[in-house]
Amino acid sequence: MWLPLPPDNLHTKIVLARFQQNADLIGFWAQELLNGQPGTHSYRRINVEATCLVCHGAKGSRPDFILKNDPQDLAYDFKGCRRGLWLNKGATHR
């Protein structure tokens, strides 16, 4: 399951710093606690193309089909490095 990283917690800031310090880093695995749960997590940089921003750019410019089919949509206004960085929650390790 791929999840967007929560924007304003220390864990996210540490992961983002790792990607910012190494522009060639595509992704990495880490065994860690996240929200108190142990697990193996995979972080991956995802390239954002101009076509992605048609739906995920400015909130006010999203296509009508998104507003109609997903009124709770929060995948807009992507800016900065957080855009396209996702966490894969893996199996719990012991």
pTM of the model: 0.55
pLDDT tens readout for residues 32-79: 776 677 777 788 887 777 888 888 889 999 999 999 998 888 888 876
Q: How many CB atoms lie within 10 A of CB 1?
A: 7
| Separation of alpha carbons 34 and 23, rounded Å | 24
pLDDT tens track for 14-35: 888 888 899 899 888 877 776 6
Q: How far, in Å, CA of 77 to CA of 7, rounded?
A: 13
